[in-house]
Structure 1
Amino acid sequence: MRNKFLAEMIGTMVLVLMGCGAAVMNGGATSVSAVLTIAFAFGLSVVAMAYTIGPISGCHINPAITLGVWLSGRMPASEAGVYILAQIIGGILGSAVLWAVTSMSGLEGTGANGFAESHLIGALTAEAVFTFIFVLVVLGSTDSKNSAPRFAGLAIGLTLVLVHIVCIPLTGTSVNPARSIGPALFAGVAALEQLWVFIVAPLVGAVVAATVWKAIRA
């Protein structure tokens, strides 16, 4: 279990550092090129980690995925709890490294998620729906009935790219509570006030994804 904890922690740290780092370096997603750059940074981070730590922990690096896997009956609750703790710690570590690097380089921001207060319902809906799609792909591509499991990491990474392309203009795209918690801690009050959205909505999406996948698979 120690190895799995370390793998999930390191994997989430890399995801947050690279993905949120791309957001900071591009000054936020204000153009098509910036959106694509950030989207691919997150997606490629997942692909890289999937083939690095996947054999050790399965490379969840996302509490929503871990919740979906647990609800699908693929792991015990105690192990799921360890995974989620490791992911949150990893997200905080990745944000801390990013904050340190950007501070010394004269840059600002941590890639924290956010939305206009008048768009609360839209943000909740978007995060829940896109997490549902993402987790559903994860559950399907890693299922024991899948005939091409070696391509699961690529499918998952590309799906995350797709989700980011559509969702970045709406919320900055979370679909991953661990990805949002770390950056919010270093971003200030505004990000912390909205953080609950990026925890609750992805978890709801994961629950729906697990329920739908179990129905489809059956």
Structure 2
Amino acid sequence: MTPSRTPSHTRSCPHGTTAAAATVLALVLAVGGCGSGGELGAPTRSSAPAATGTGPYPTPDDPRGAAPLPAGSGGTPRGGVTRPGDTDQRDADAVGWGALKVMWTFDTTIDSGPGDASARAADAGWLTEAYAARVREHRPRSVPGAQWREWAGHRASTIVTLEKAEDAAMPADTDTEAWRQWVVTTSPQGRDGWAGEPTTVVAFVRLTRTAPDEAWRVADVTVQ
């Protein structure tokens, strides 16, 4: 949760997710509350597209509104929760990396569904106040699907790896806005030794801050 200005997929959706990541986006971000036609809450395997140079970057007069994210149920996932104070908050790369790691870290022993990770990111302080408010206000439309239940049967959590991807179409950083692109891979690992298939998406992150010397925060995430 290939693009021209915003990602698109084969099923029409107001905020434009792509086919390869539609169900993953419903899992993690629920952008616009749109579904993929598959099970809400069931991760799908997708290959990571190469950086296209045509990410979902705005024109100057685009509203760039972000859709709400699922609210979380609380708790600490296996491996803990990375917080902004653990990194250099004036480094947009570091803040984008930290936020995505939290947003894709699921733990079936404490989570009612994968979207709970987005609420943890909000509670940890990675998101702007407006984006965090949307996270907390949203409620999932459906229970997690069969694959999440499979994960839960193994008491699984996810291991998250991130690889920065270059995109020639990204706008240059300003004093108060920056865009970043990451390849995010989540690998479910059961506490019983089970290992599920990894899922990979490309995440486009918009970061903002109020002044050049202030900390960056994530203002929007779109997946491809």
TM-score of the alignment, normalized to the shorter chain, above 0.5: no
Structure number with higher relative contact order (C-alpha < 8 Å, ≥ 6 residues apart): 1
Q: Greater share of strand residues, 1 or 2?
A: 2
In the superposition, the TM-score normalised over structure 2's length comes to 0.30
In the superposition, the TM-score normalised over structure 1's length comes to 0.30
Q: Greater share of helix residues, 1 or 2?
A: 1
